[in-house]
Chain A
Amino acid sequence: MISPQREQFWAEMVLKLAAFFSLFILGFILFYITWKGVSSISLSFLLENPSDMGRSGGIFAPIVSTFMLAFLSILISTPMGVGTSIFLTEYTNESRITRIIRFGADCLSGIPSIIFGLFGFVLFVIKLNLGWCILSGALTMSFMILPTIIRTSEEAIKSVPFDLREASYSLGASKWQTITKVVLPEAIPGIVTGVILGIGRCIGETAVVIFTAGAALNTPTSIFDSARTMAVHFYIIAREGISTQKAYATAFVLVVLVLSINFCTYFLMHKYISKKK
């Protein structure tokens, strides 16, 4: 029989090991990409367009495309997702319909992205004749990240105490006034978390982009241009053996971008919350 003290000791050791191992993997990936990629980073790499299929030059066009695609996807999916979650939490009682919508959202989040890519290709690129372009890509991508935004916003809205709603009603506010003036301001940190997760998925996505936005190397000037995001650029030049060095440099920029978006939002959120307390 093992004594409780001993059990405690080993449990702590195992948990510690798990935590350190996870951190180590994360650190290792970051270190490896930085080590391989940072040497080819220069201002011209960031500001020049790729030439010779990406063998030389920079990644200006992929950076612009990445931002355009992610921004447009978020612009489409956030109102839809937040709207759905408000409807689910505030305007319906727990019933069969809400369960179906919620189950649908969960199913949607389990679908592999390549299926979304194929769907977007058939619907937007072919059927609606939009062609390979940022708009097709953003529409498809926004469907893909919709479940994430719905579920995180729903949790955030649900966690706002019911007392606050009642207090607002008792002061003569309507349901909509209560939602906009009390519930949403309280739920915003949670909603933003969902949106950040969505941005992360947009930036890292390849399958959907290849199917719906194409892989053109030119700098896009409108949302009707075909474009190649950083993730796709990395995928193509690495897989086709065009330039491993440039691929690592692209990966490095991609990682730095995702991390800085996370840090910025974390910082802003912290400021927002501490201002209210």
Chain B
Amino acid sequence: MEANIKIQISHFTATFKPRYSFEKTCVSLSDITLNIYENEILSIIGPARSGKTTLLRSINRLNDIHENFFKTGDILLDKESVYHARVDVADIRRRVGFVFARPVVLPKSIWENICYGPKLKGISKKEELSQIVEESLKSAYLWDEVKNRLKDSALSLSGGQQQRLCIARTIALKPEVIMLDEPTSALDPISTSKIEDTLVELKSKYTIILVTNNTKQAARVGTKTAFFLMSKLIEYGNTEQIFTNPKEKQTEDYITGRFG
């Protein structure tokens, strides 16, 4: 049985127009067509500046804050365009959670960090909030480490804990899709393996898109893998197939470490 398509990207091109005449127009994504299925982990691999992050930021419309961002093509979330004029951007961002490469905790307490999103959604009851806090911290495997210090500043946590707090904060929004942009690039191996375990656990409830620089990580956790190079989608397929029997020469060169 074929899984449901959660996100459908069709002929999507993202361009950053120059602000000054001496700059060149930068095409970050060119003609990407890709389907992302429900309850899967899609790993996106590729060298720096290949458009991986731009793709994530286009899905939850975070690129909108740059005035020189232009796109053609479309991205559908549950068959509805995220770029439709009547779409509420805040709603899209809640449905498609985003975890940044470096842990960005808000300079507030652990509790406040998690409640930030739910409070904006209008949840104000204390019991409801504490339930959300407990649930999301447990899903990110952080609860046992911080349950006695929820009022402490989130800045007092270690890097790995901060990143898991960011994941918990995203889970607290009750999203449908979670996108992670190189979530472990700044972390030690132990924190990394904790986060990878978390992701595999989360797969049953959410659709996950994982951008990673670490091809081994993609092989470990991804159901499907997509390889990007120079703003193009080179190859897409089951992780096993990509890593054992890639169709494209460039993919093979990249995963065997010949470049990138």
Contact = CB atoms under 8 A, between A and B. Distances in A.
Give the interface centre of A165, A171, A174 by most chain B CB atoms within 10 Å: A171
A171 B100 contact: no
Interface stretch (B101-109, B128-136, B202-210): B101-109
Interface in A158-185: 161, 163-174, 177, 181-182, 185
Interface string A247-275: 00000000000000000000000000000
A6 interface: no
A127 interface: no
B102 to A, nearest CB: 7
B98 A170 contact: yes
A174 B90 contact: yes
Contacts of A166: 62, 65, 100, 104
B143 interface: no
Task: Determine the main DSSP class of A at the interface with B.
Answer: helix
Contacts of A163: 100, 102, 104
Given A93-B67, A163-B100, A276-B153, A168 B62 contact: no
B120 A171 contact: yes
B84 interface: no
A177 B119 CA distance: 11
B82 interface: no
A170 B62 contact: yes
B93 A171 contact: yes
Contact count band on B: 20 to 34
Contact of B117 (A161, A171, A174): A171
A177 to B, nearest CB: 6
Contacts of B121: 172
Nearest to A175: B65
Nearest to A163: B104
Given A172-B93, A172-B173, A164 B65 contact: no
B60 interface: yes
A172 B120 contact: yes
A164 B169 CA distance: 14
A159 to B, nearest CB: 13
Given A168-B116, A172-B93, A277 B169 contact: no
Contacts of B102: 163
B97 interface: yes
A170 B90 contact: no
Nearest to B101: A163
A155 to B, nearest CB: 18
Contact of A181 (B90, B104, B116, B170): B116
A186 interface: yes
A275 to B, nearest CB: 8
Given A166-B62, A170-B97, A171-B120, A182 B90 contact: no
Nearest to B116: A171
A105 B122 CA distance: 39
Contacts of A185: 107
A185 B97 CA distance: 24
Contacts of A276: 107-108, 153, 155
22 contacts: A163-B100, A164-B104, A165-B65, A166-B65, A166-B100, A166-B104, A167-B166, A168-B106, A168-B116, A170-B98, A170-B170, A171-B116, A171-B169, A171-B170, A172-B117, A174-B90, A185-B107, A186-B107, A276-B108, A276-B155, A277-B153, A277-B156
Interface of B: 60, 62, 65, 67, 90-91, 93-94, 97-98, 100, 102, 104-108, 116-117, 120-121, 153, 155-156, 166, 169-170, 173
Given A166-B104, A182-B106, A186-B107, 8 more contacts: A163-B100, A163-B102, A167-B105, A170-B60, A171-B170, A173-B117, A174-B90, A277-B153
- 4 pairs of A and B residues whose beta carbons are closest in the complex: A171-B117, A172-B94, A170-B98, A167-B104
